[in-house]
Every structure is written in structure tokens, then in C-alpha cells.
């Protein structure tokens, strides 16, 4: 082969080699969060935030948040799996300490509590009843805390939940109507796709292309030098 033709060919091979790059992979990750007995599953403000999803007397702490801040990719369609690990919660001095399933002897569903107010479970799919007093529940929300989709029960799990379009975080809390007198906590494990890490690296084809273009350049220079001397 005429060495003057080597360079264009090798450049083409090298460039084509760049089309074969190893994609960065998103590995599944697992983390644990603590849900306190005083944590509400979402915030609401009368005539404001989530006003159509009011429950209880609004005396609890804000929800526990799961988002990209925890290392999850949090893309629409991703599945997060929640599993109770340990801990107990009581929704008042006269109520038992329970795991994340709550008081299995007291299914509150779409009823009202001692305050005369609804429970968060009022807004959940009735097909998932019974939902117990003091059970772990949650909802997806956008960056402002506005509910996305339908809130849901979690219990002890493992419970897989799919991230809906428009959601940027998962919120966790307790199914109750009065939170200030609650005690205890649960440790909850959350697993799902993590964020993409690392930078794509050139494939073997691309690296070979670099080697070939180096050899071709040497041959090109040698041929050019011989032609000049001749």
C-alpha cells in the first residue's frame, strides 16, 4: 500500500473507534433513613400547599425525604424498594409500640381519629386497605412538596414503588391524626438505581486506533523524507 494513503485510512479507523465507547454504568445503591414517630408523610397548608389532602391537626414534623441527595438517580420509572429494619413507634401513651406495620388491631383506613380529623390513609387507594394506625406511609412529591400521584402505604415491606413523572422526591411519615405525642422511630432501608458515576472510557477499538495512527504517522514521515531525498 502506498504510505501516503495510510494516514487518511488510519484516521478513519481511529474516528470510527470512538463510536465504540464503554458506557458509564449506574449501580444499585442501598441506604437507610430514620423515620420518627412525629414525622408526617406530607406537609399541607389550608388554602395553600396540598390543601385538598389535609389530615389531622398539622402538629407534626415534616416528612423524611428520599431524593438525588441520597445518591439515587431518581428517574421516572425507576423502582425504589423500602424495607423495615428496626425500631418501634407509639402514637400515644395508651398505644402499643409497633414496627412499621403499625397497630394491626386498629385499621383506620378512611376513618377519623380522636381529633375528628382524617388520617393520611384517607387519600390512599382503598384497594390497599387495611391501613393501620401508626403505619409507615409515603408519597411522591415535586421539589415544592406538592403530592405527585396517589399517596400509599408501605408497612414493613419490602415494598417496591415506582417513581412517577414529575416527582423529585419520596416522602415518608406515620399514618396518624395527632403527632406531637408520638414517640420512637423506625430505621428504613431504601434500595434503587444510583446516579451514574465515572466518565465513559475509550473502548479497545479506539485505543487500537490511537496506536495505528501513531504507526501510520511514523510511516508517513519516513515516506515523505525518502521522497524529498529522492
Per CATH, the homologous superfamily of domain 28-193 is Galactose-binding lectin (2.60.120.430)
Q: Is the pLDDT of residue 167 over 70?
A: yes
Stretch among 13-17, 33-37, 117-121, 135-139 having the lowest mean pLDDT: 13-17
DSSP of 74-142, one letter per residue?
A: --TT-EEEEEEEE--EESSTTS--B-TT-EEEEE-TT-B-TTS-B-GGGGS-GGG---EET-EEEEEE-
Segment 107-124 mean pLDDT: 98
Domain boundaries, the chain: 3-22+200-229, 28-193
Tell me: pLDDT of 184 over 60.
yes
Amino acid at each position: 500500500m502506498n504510505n501516503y494513503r495510510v494516514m487518511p485510512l488510519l484516521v478513519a479507523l481511529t474516528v470510527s473507534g470512538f463510536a465504540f465507547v464503554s458506557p458509564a454504568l449506574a449501580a444499585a445503591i442501598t441506604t437507610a433513613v430514620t423515620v420518627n414517630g412525629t414525622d408526617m408523610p406530607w406537609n399541607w397548608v389550608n388554602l395553600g400547599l396540598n390543601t385538598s389532602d389535609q389530615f389531622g391537626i398539622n402538629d407534626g414534623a415534616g416528612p423524611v425525604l428520599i431524593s438525588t441527595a441520597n445518591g439515587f438517580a431518581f428517574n421516572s420509572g425507576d423502582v425504589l424498594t423500602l424495607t423495615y429494619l428496626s425500631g418501634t413507634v407509639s402514637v400515644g401513651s395508651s398505644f402499643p409500640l409497633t414496627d412499621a406495620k403499625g397497630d394491626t388491631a386498629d385499621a383506620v383506613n378512611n376513618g377519623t381519629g380522636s381529633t375528628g380529623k382524617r388520617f393520611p390513609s384517607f387519600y390512599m387507594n382503598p384497594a390497599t386497605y387495611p391501613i393501620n394506625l401508626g403505619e409507615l406511609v409515603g408519597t411522591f412529591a415535586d421539589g415544592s412538596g406538592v403530592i405527585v400521584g396517589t399517596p400509599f402505604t408501605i408497612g414493613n415491606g419490602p415494598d417496591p414503588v415506582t417513581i412517577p413523572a414529575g416527582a423529585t422526591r419520596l416522602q415518608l411519615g406515620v399514618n396518624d391524626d395527632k403527632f406531637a405525642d408520638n414517640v420512637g422511630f423506625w430505621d428504613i432501608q431504601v434500595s434503587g438505581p444510583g446516579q451514574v458515576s465515572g466518565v465513559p472510557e475509550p473502548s479497545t477499538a479506539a485505543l487500537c486506533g490511537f496506536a495505528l495512527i501513531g504507526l501510520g504517522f511514523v510511516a508517513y514521515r519516513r515516506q515523505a523524507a525518502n521522497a524529498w531525498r529522492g
